[in-house]
Amino acid sequence: MRRSFQTAWTAWTTLYGRLASSRHAADDAFRLTVELPWSNLSERAEQTGGTTRTVRTARSASSVDGPVQSARASQPPTIGSVKASPAGSHRERVLAMDLEHLKICSAARCRRLRAGGVTTAGDLLICDPSQVADQFRSPERAERAIRRLRAAVRMAAAVDRMTPRDAVLLIAVHRRSIRTLAMERPAVLHRDLERFSLSSRGSRLVGRRGIPSVRRLKRWIETSGQLTGYRPTTNPQLA
């Protein structure tokens, strides 16, 4: 019994040694590959004697996520859930605009207003019209013009998506405040703007922009109604 066990063990060890020697002697170069996800693999070549091994090893999480985290840290933070109110941001943009960008007065008048200390739309709201008008040749006429510009800036800053140039057109057709604008009907207001654009002064103010569409007028009227609390008794669509 013991002799048969020794014979079997000797035969097994001999066979295992032949298989191992034939495996490594099959060729001079062999490749050892570790199957891991490609995103976490790094190749490393090793040369030992006449054998070349290319080993793919898993990189650490810090080496993979380090460049990504540093790139994210270099980007400015974005605010997704917290958003400023549209009315506030619109008002700030309008009041921060320069006089030349407003396109509501000529370049010569902008220079005279700037000489009087008025450089932005916000300066028009806080300035003294009579004091600034002293810089002009006709102070009384200039004071009336400055007050119209102030009314246009005040209306444009209050109504979202309205520019001071649009407010100048509305004031020219006798809609001088958001309260009067809230009581209007879009179709009627659009008709008055069309008639005004046919005049010499209206064509000069409108220029190539054209008059606002009925949809824009309706949006401004609805915003003015929300600001003033005015509720129309009839449907504006019937106008």
Helix (H) or strand (E) holding 164: helix 164-172
pLDDT score recorded for residue 146: 92
Q: Which residues of 118-129 are buried (b: 16+ CB within 10 A; e: fewer)?
A: bebbbbbeebeb
- The per-residue pLDDT for range 151-162, each reduced to its tens digit, is 999 999 999 989
User: Phi/psi of residue 86, each to 5°?
Assistant: -60, -40
Please tell me the predicted confidence (pLDDT) of residue 10: 72
State the Cα–Cα distance between residues 139 and 142, nearest whole angstrom: 5
User: Based on C-alpha coordinates, what's the Rg of the chain?
Assistant: 40
pLDDT at 4: 63
CA dihedral 217, 221, 222, 224 (to 10 degrees): 140
- The residue with greater pLDDT, 85 or 203, is 203
Distance CA 224, CA 183 (A): 9
Mean pLDDT throughout 172-197? 93
* Contact call for residues 77 and 62 (beta carbons, < 8 A): no
pLDDT exceeds cutoff 80 at 188 = yes
The highest-confidence range among 25-34, 38-47, 187-196, by mean pLDDT, is 187-196
Which pLDDT score, from 0 to 100, does residue 20 have?
A: 53
Residues 6+ apart with CB under 8 A from 3: none
Q: What is the pLDDT of residue 185?
A: 94
What is the per-residue pLDDT for 106?
Answer: 87
Report percent pLDDT > 70 for the chain: 61
pLDDT value for 209: 84
Spell out the domain ranges in the chain.
86-238
* Residue 67 confidence (pLDDT): 45
pLDDT reading at 39 higher than 70 = no
